[in-house]
Amino acid sequence: MSLIGQRDLRPSAPRVEQKRLEKQAANLKRSHPKAGIWVAAYIRRCGVEGVFAAVRRRGAEEAGAIYVIVNRLDGTADLYGPAPQAAFDDAHPSDRAFTPLLKTLPAPESAVESYIARESKFDPDIWVIEIEERSGRHFLDRIVR
């Protein structure tokens, strides 16, 4: 059968590419920045504030959960982790929100370490960032309690 004189019903390549790019842009508006990029920016922010920060455990570059330990340098620490999905709203859909994970802040370092050990067994892709700050400043933009 000859195709001469028949109309090609396939979508044109530029139109398909445009739709793909529009979909990709919409997904970027809704999603978090990559975990690795967020961690690098957070460590830099801590450095600007004069606070030591280090990656204790490197997780999945794309979307690993991030845990922040604020070591008070007196045997206690604060622990922050990803906030529950219910904490996200339409006004800030792409912000990373954190929540305190232990009942008491500050908590003994042993409690923080055991929590991190349990989480890393459950999810091997987590990031663990530790900062040293006696007063407990955490430099996280959004805390949900």
pTM of the model: 0.73
DSSP 100-141: E-SSSSSEEHHHHHHHHHHHHHH-TT-EEEEEE-TT-----S
Q: Which domain holds residue 73?
A: 35-132
Count of structural domains within the chain: 1
Kindly state whether residue 137 falls inside one of the protein's structural domains. Answer: no
CATH value at residue 105: 3.40.1530.20
Residue 29 has pLDDT above 50, yes or no: no
pLDDT digits (tens, 9 = 90+) for 41-67: 999 999 999 999 999 999 888 878 999
Across the range 20-35, mean pLDDT stands at 60
Kindly state whether residue 99 falls inside one of the protein's structural domains. Answer: yes
3-state secondary structure of 114: helix
Kindly state whether residue 121 falls inside one of the protein's structural domains. Answer: yes
